[in-house]
Amino acid sequence: MHVVCSWAQQTSLVKGTVVDSKTQKPMRNVAAKLQGTNQTATTNAEGVFVFETVAPGNQSIVVGTQGFVSQTFSLEVTAGETLDLGVVSLDEDITAEQQLSLITLTENDLGDDNGGSESTAGLLQASRDVFMQAAAFDLSQARFRVRGLDNEYGKTMINGVPMDKLYDGRPQWSNWGGLNDAMRNQEFTIGSAPSDYTFGGILGTQEINTRASIFRPGSRLSFSGANTNYSWRAMATHASGMNADGFAYVISASRRWAQEGHWDGTDYSANSFFVSLEKKFNDNHSINFTGIYAQNSRGKNSPNTEEVIDLAGENYNSYWGYQNGKKRNSRDKDVEEPIFMLNHYWKINEKNSLNTNVAYQFGSIGNSRLDFNFTRNPDPTYYRNLPSYYTTMHEFPSGVYTGNSVENQAFAGLARQQFLANRQIDWDKLYRDNVENGESLAILYEDRTDDKLFTANTILTSQLSDNIYLNAGATYRKL
């Protein structure tokens, strides 16, 4: 006779809720692992993870996801009982290389006057999506655009306030250029995914949060060199954290400059300042003030054809010339548009919150260039100045190719010699021609935009049930 005895070990349930320490919003798809076992759990849309069969005794759980510092919890599990870890806050891993807000890409975005060929790097630069990072960092400089869309199809916001220009729907990245540390707290939605702040666009939504209390307390100084539009950058940032009196502040300043950037004749000067002040009245009400000043002045570089690059090199820039022994660029871009913003955060109850914002932005954007009347284009790369003008000649109206004729080949050789001898704008000649003719044949003018923009909006977030959330808002903008 055989007697078999068995005892069922009573297990316990362990659960917790994972939130982002900055935004205090639930984090989805965060992994939780029970050490010493093969049990794992993943958080749902509400940030909740559950282990349903945990053996009693001393246990250890690790909670973490990419880009955040993992947390380990040592537990004493009692048989048959439910253990709730409560809220687990994960901090961003500032030591990991997240490629957040790289200013080089932002400056490249500024290189196109009309913005039509701008990439979406500024919108996607801090996304942790693998494809979006590749689109922003690896492909943007080759003019790749996600879905072939310009950045007017995305939405950029600061503290819930839209930053897209009313006249073209595109953000002016230089309005906060150089303030990498101050603008690093960002949330993203990709494509048409829902956002807590706006309906967004088909390219996605970028929300930058400058609330003083969410910054990690401490100071940071940095000095770096680059070989792009500017040569040097110095930056300093200090965050106080929330004190016992309910006050928090963040200040940041930077300077970027170059006597000459990567391209010939491209001087650069940019000064940026940032301040954020928050007063927390109680657990339900808080007011935050943000001020941003980012002045930027830079010389532009010309878009060159393969023929021009072969003749003059890849660093060649046709927009400048010598005047009184100094390089002078005919195409300068000057941006100076300060932003002032006041935000009220109201936690109505555990399931409802209201964010009300007012913002005022003013200033100017100027783009200079040469115009000409009754005279040839002063740009050295004007098509009639290049050898290809003669080597591509065809007879009119027969259309017979004559570019290989002895005469045109001779003209092409002469054009090549003249271009190499006069590669830059001749400022002295422009002034001399204007004086001798008694009228302005060449004019240096500025396309200028002076704006005063007032924005007010309010955003309601409500949890109607465990599975239903409501976001509602209203926005008023006056230019």
Nearest-CA neighbor of 344 among 324, 365, 326, 358? 358
Q: Looking at residue 478, what is its pLDDT?
A: 93
pLDDT over threshold 90, residue 453: yes
Over residues 387-405, the pLDDT tens digits come to 999 999 998 888 899 989 9
d(CA 239, CA 215): 6
| Band of residue 111 on the pLDDT scale cut at 50, 70, 90 | very low
Q: Which of 53-62, 108-117, 164-173, 236-245 has the lowest mean pLDDT?
A: 108-117
Domain co-membership, 163 together with 277: yes
Residues 257 and 303 occupy one common structural domain: yes
Q: Which of 93-107, 280-294, 360-374 has the lowest mean pLDDT?
A: 93-107
- The pLDDT tens digits for 17-57 are 999 887 778 888 899 998 888 888 999 988 999 998 888 88
pLDDT at 349 over 80: yes
297-341 pLDDT, tens digit per residue, is 999 999 999 999 999 999 999 999 999 999 999 999 999 999 999
Q: What is the pLDDT of residue 113?
A: 44
The reply to whether 156 falls in a domain is yes
Give yes or no: residues 158 and 306 share one domain: yes
Judge whether 425 lies within some domain.
no
Both 152 and 85 in one domain: the answer is no
On whether residue 362 sits in a domain, the answer given is yes
pTM across the whole model = 0.76
Residue 138 has pLDDT above 70, yes or no: no
**pLDDT at residue 4 is higher than 80:** no
Identify whether residues 159 and 189 lie together within a single domain.
Answer: yes
Does a structural domain hold residue 2?
no
Q: Do 49 and 149 fall into the same domain?
A: no
Q: Count of domains in the chain?
A: 2
pLDDT grade for 119, boundaries at 50, 70 and 90: very low
Based on the fold, state whether residues 135 and 270 are members of the same structural domain: yes
* 138 against 219, higher pLDDT: 219
78 and 227 in a single domain? The answer is: no
Same domain, 19 and 69: yes
Asked if residue 109 and residue 82 are part of one domain, the reply reads no
Tell me: do 25 and 128 sit in the same domain.
no
Q: Which residue has the tokens 């422009």?
A: 430
Residue 371 has pLDDT above 60, yes or no: yes
User: At 64, which CATH number?
Assistant: 2.60.40.10
Is 126 a residue whose pLDDT tops 60?
no
Query: What is residue 374's predicted lDDT score, i.e. its pLDDT?
Result: 77
pLDDT band at 100 (very low <50, low <70, confident <90, very high): very low
225 and 274 in a single domain? The answer is: yes
Mean pLDDT of the chain: 85
Answer yes or no: is 387 within a domain: no
> Which structure tokens are listed for 278?
């928050």
In a domain, 431, yes or no: no
* Boundary of a domain, candidates 33, 57, 90: 90
- Does a structural domain hold residue 410? no
Residue 380 lies in a domain: no
Q: Which range marks the domain in which residue 69 is found?
A: 12-90
Phi then psi dihedrals of residue 148, to 5 deg: 70, 20
Q: Are 235 and 256 in contact (CB under 8 A)?
A: no
Structural domain ending residue among the three candidates 37, 59, 90 = 90
Choice among 45-49, 117-121, 454-458 with the minimum mean pLDDT = 117-121
